[in-house]
Chain A
Amino acid sequence: MSALAIRLACHLTEELFGETVEKVCWFLLENGASSLQTIATRTKVPRTEVKKALCVMINHRIASFESNKKNLVEYSASVNRCLLLARYPRFIYCAKMLYDDAGELIVEEILHGGQMTMTIVLQNVTERLQKAVGDSKKIETSMVRGKFIKLVETRFIQRVPDPEIEAVQESTCDPDVTRQQAALYRLPSFVHDIGTPLGKRKRDPKEDEDGRRSKRAKTDDLGESEYYIDEDILWQANLDRFHQYFRDHEIVSAALKSNGSLASEIVRTMLRISEVTTDKLEVATTPTSYHDIFRALPANLNIDRNKFDQYLKILTENQTRIVRKVSEAGGRLYDIDLQKGSLAVTLSCIESVVQERFGSKSHRIFKLLVLKKYLEHKQIESNVLIPAKEAKELLYQMFAEGFVSVQELSKAPDHAPSRTYYPFFVNLDQVSLQLRRDVTRLLLISLQEESLKKRK
């Protein structure tokens, strides 16, 4: 991973968790997996502090640990996970858009706490909401709880997998992924029982709530005889699900731009039906039948079957080809090509960068290369209708900045320049990586500037 990303990661951890964590994080990212002793001596941070920092990092899933061959426990940090810290505001905003203020606060609490029990989250959120509205209105816990359940059902929040169960699954190689997945979103039985107060309760040795009981004795702030009913069920934010939502959102807005609002509603509905059943790495959504999509459309759309038919036809015949007809079986099955959809959105994003940075003429050359793949520069000139000299200049400028690449194609094995073609093409992977690097740098620069400004 690049030094740039590490610097950004460290900056983000420092902003969020303070200097000590930043030091430990930096050390781990620079040096890879290390033992507690090494970290303490090399960073010159007291051992107890290091332990605390590691706790914070593990709690936020930034760091993980593993015992190596010599049975020594080693800690390592993930730079990609660190970089996600920058996206926290976006996650919180997304929750606000979907589930109002309560949803926003729930996600904020969980993101800041890392892993938390439901009861504590609900308590804190209710308190904060109450503070915000003042005494004029009473905030019901049941409302907040409802939002929490919604968030779990839509998989934005998930259980932290129980390490013991995970170990068992790993050793037995349980192939049933779906069941494992479902277990992550299983709500404890008591939450549906509105009457159950979620506060502390008296410890009753005979009571066996939800088949699980705390094995550890809680002593600190709770008395010997009091405990939270779900103290061993921890929840965390499911960041993959958020990313999936962002991707779906982009695909829907692409459909909106290309085919209008009704078409985008159909795409949104298709994505919504399949969002829970489609795995995050799947290239296409689960095929859905015509009738199911029609039935699931929002009622306020006022769309009849005839129109719906036509929109589906438009969508399937559209240039982007995001919606596909999979088969005629079961009253026609449709799915959404997520790979193509993401590619189309990414491409459009990259094109906008080219357009802004190099101007519309270069954009024309760039898009021509994207569409036609490999072209020599004579062919480019004649296709884009730009004077030869200017076209050459624009092309080489993009080449110099890495947006356009050259493929050497030799007619003879000696690779003599006179017998070699040099067609230009766009290497999308390279361009996206480069833009990602630019964004990382930009983020680092602006965050540093921001913190400098704050200090002044």
Chain B
Amino acid sequence: MAGASISIKQETPDGGGDGGLAGDSLEKRILKVCNQDPKGVPDTILQLNLPGVGVKEKVKAINGLLSKGKIDLVNGTNGQLLYKLKDTQTQSDLKGSDDQERLVYQIIKEAGNKGIWIRDIRRGCGLAPPPLNKILKRMENKKAIKAIKSVGDSKKKVYMLFDLEPDRSVTGGAWYSDQDFDAEFVNVLNQTCFKFLQEKMEAAAKLDIDPLLKLNRSYASPVEVWKYIQELGLLSNEVNLGVDDIETILNTLIYDGKVEMTVSVSQSSSDKSVRTKMFRAIQPLSEPAGLMRVPCGVCPIFDNCYEGGAVSPSTCIYMKEWMDY
């Protein structure tokens, strides 16, 4: 909204060019007042800010602004009418469109980069589905808005303004390419991160230094891992991977049981202590269980295997092979 209001300020001088001199300055003053609150100003405040202006003149000026499409009349929360600025983008996008279209556009715009579902638009504007669809299609063709498939639900389409970058919750962040989860990409990153941490640990283990120092050397912060990934040139330019994303990957390594995490507190120059997560490669605490060394350990029908049954230990070829020592 702040960006929009700035552009308004620049627009106003030539916007009011065709009105009379007195009307022009009054219109400017009204716009200035409206500019103070992007949510809209009620009539009382407008009156306060325009001392010595007659009702007739004011009405004329407001009507002029309304017809030029510079301000909007909207219903406020407590039932009173609010004068609200319209931004120029809306104006350029909606050239030659009707009120309904403007309304829908407004609703979509309010949803921001999270987008809005078609049913929510319908609830907001009260239009029947067929005309609404038509409007949406028309606006899409004009490139005023765009439809994006949400990652959470592949059938759900959300609408947002054309030049907005969709939110992470909609696209799923770096892990999604075209609404599909890029498992391959995640796997490669997961392995690369682990390799980095492991190499770091091995390098530290070789050093002939104090054990505590050795341990600290084997820890790496997400930023270090992130730099390593960037330097590897693993990523294509389109993928914008942040440190947060690397932290998510490192977290999956924790769940894999390959990495452990501690929080280290360091005193920065200003008196605030900074907490950074540090990661370190570890080994599993025990050898694989003995149960898994026997074919039955991974046998999917182990529970149904009985002597005399359709599957029985004595007829099992895996068992026979295993017993042949």
Seen from chain A, the residues whose Cβ lies within 8 Å of a Cβ on chain B are 250, 253-254, 257-258, 260, 262-263, 306-307, 310-311, 313-314, 319-320, 344-345, 347-353, 355-357, 360, 363-365, 367-368, 371, 383-388, 390, 435, 438-439, 441-442, 445-446, 448-450, 452-453
Contact = CB atoms under 8 A, between A and B. Distances in A.
Nearest to B312: A445
A445 B296 contact: yes
B288 interface: yes
Nearest to B307: A448
B183 A387 contact: yes
Contacts of A385: 175, 186, 190, 248-249, 252
Contacts of B248: 385
Interface stretch (B52-60, B137-145, B278-286): B278-286
Given A356-B292, A360-B256, A314 B284 contact: no
A125 to B, nearest CB: 30
A351 B183 contact: no
A258 B186 CA distance: 27
Contacts, number: 123
Interface in B176-208: 181, 183, 186, 190, 205
Nearest to B306: A445
Given A306-B210, A363-B257, A314 B215 contact: yes
Nearest to B180: A387
Contact of A257 (B186, B205, B285, B292): B285
B2 interface: no
A449 B289 contact: no
A310 B314 contact: no
A449 B323 contact: yes
B88 to A, nearest CB: 39
Contacts of B175: 385
A388 B292 CA distance: 28
Contact of B297 (A263, A310, A314, A353): A353
Given A356-B292, A383-B251, A384-B252, A314 B212 contact: yes
6 contacts: A254-B286, A307-B210, A319-B260, A353-B289, A364-B252, A441-B296
A425 to B, nearest CB: 15
B297 A357 contact: yes
Given A314-B215, A360-B256, A383-B255, A351 B284 contact: yes
B296 A442 contact: yes
Interface in B60-91: none
Nearest to B298: A357
Describe B's contact surface by its main secondary structure.
helix
B141 to A, nearest CB: 33
A445 to B, nearest CB: 5
Contacts of A350: 289
Interface of B: 175, 181, 183, 186, 190, 205, 210-212, 215, 248-249, 251-252, 254-257, 260, 262, 282-289, 291-292, 294, 296-298, 302, 305, 307, 313-314, 319, 323
Contact of B211 (A310, A384, A453): A310
Contacts of B249: 385
A37 to B, nearest CB: 34
Given A356-B292, A435-B291, A258 B255 contact: no
A348 B298 CA distance: 17
B284 A352 contact: yes
A352 B287 contact: yes
Given A347-B285, A351-B284, A445-B313, 17 more contacts: A258-B282, A262-B211, A310-B212, A345-B286, A352-B287, A352-B288, A352-B292, A355-B288, A356-B288, A357-B292, A385-B248, A388-B181, A438-B302, A439-B291, A446-B294, A446-B323, A449-B313
A452 B212 contact: no
A384 to B, nearest CB: 6
Given A385-B186, A446-B294, A307 B285 contact: no
A347 B285 CA distance: 9
Contacts of A258: 282-283, 285
B145 to A, nearest CB: 27
B283 A351 contact: no
Contacts of A355: 288
B255 A367 contact: yes
A347 B286 CA distance: 9
A349 B289 contact: yes
A257 B283 contact: yes
A347 B291 CA distance: 15
Contacts of A452: 314
Given A367-B257, A442-B297, A253 B286 contact: yes
A356 B296 CA distance: 12
A397 to B, nearest CB: 10
Nearest to B185: A385
